[in-house]
A and B are shown apart, each in its own frame.
Chain A
């Protein structure tokens, strides 16, 4: 089972600030990486599937990059809004192990 780490564990930012956080994973035998957003009282929902080294995916104000050689992915949120407040989880594909998540709170 791959050891997945996310940092920081929690983050508070002001509305309008941009922010980013990290998912680290062993780079050997990499296949793909999933990012999920988990809002309170809702189901976690898939954000991105990252597959290739150098991948960059974007959905609105949220984007993610991937470095498979060094084993990390960054998630960026530009101009954070209160509705972005959630826990962001990453998980390598082909397994069911998640990072501990980054809990983001955007203050109005």
Chain B
């Protein structure tokens, strides 16, 4: 199973600033996924990070707000731009392996509080 290192684990940020979250995987993976869990909400897919091409964003998420980098097959970053208190969430990166379907493996999560 993949091991994912995600940082920072938590941060408190001022509104209007940006935060970049990093994920490092111990093996090469084609796709990495970024999720957000707002308080009391589902774990929601933000985008799929593809190596060598632009990320694919889900409905309601845009590149200007959540720019993603994927410079190689083991690393990705998600930036939360121009933050507002509504961006306070847990952000998770994930990869999948084919184990009786799609089993996800996750980073430790980044707990973001915007004040």
Whether B43 lies near A101 (C-beta < 8 A) is yes
A9 touches B40 (CB 8 A): yes
The docked-state distance in angstroms from the alpha carbon of A46 to that of B102 is: 11
Query: B67: shortest Cβ distance to chain A, in Å?
Result: 20
Q: Select which of A41, A51, A95 is within 8 A of B102 by beta carbon.
A: A95
Cβ-defined contact, B40 with A41, below 8 A:
no
User: Given A41-B109, A44-B92, do A99 and B104 touch, yes or no (CB 8 Å)?
Assistant: no
Q: Mark A1-43, 1 if CB is under 8 A from B, else 0.
A: 0001000010000000000000000000001101010000111
Contacts A96-B33, A96-B45, A100-B42 hold; do A43 and B107 have CB atoms under 8 A apart?
A: yes
Select the residue from A4, A43, A93 with max chain B CB neighbours within 10 A: A43
- The majority secondary structure among interface residues of chain A is loop
Number of interface residues of B (CB under 8 A): 24
Instruction: Answer whether A89 and B43 are a contact pair too, CB < 8 Å, given A31-B101, A41-B9.
Output: yes
Report if A104 contacts B (CB, 8 A).
no
Inter-chain CA distance A51–B102, complex, in Å, is: 12
Interface centre among A4, A93, A94 (most CB of B within 10 A): A93
Give the complex CA separation of A36 and B104 in angstroms.
9
Q: Nearest Cβ in chain A — how far from B32, in angstroms?
A: 11
| B108:A32 contact, CB within 8 angstroms | no
Q: Which residues of B contact A96 (CB under 8 A)?
A: 33, 45, 94, 96, 102, 104
Q: Are A32 and B107 in contact (CB under 8 A)?
A: no
- Could you say which residues of chain A place their CB within 8 Å of the CB of B109? 41-43
**Residue B78 lies at the interface, judged by CB distance under 8 Å to chain A:** no
Q: Do A98 and B42 touch across chains, with their CB atoms under 8 A apart?
A: yes
For residue B105, CB closer than 8 A to chain A, the reply is yes
Asked if A49 is at the interface (CB within 8 A of a chain B CB), the reply is: yes
Q: What 5 A-B pairs have minimum CB-CB distances, sorted nearest first?
A: A93-B101, A98-B43, A32-B101, A100-B42, A43-B106
| Interface residues of B, Cβ cutoff 8 Å to A | 4, 9, 33, 35, 40-43, 45, 92, 94, 96, 99-109, 111
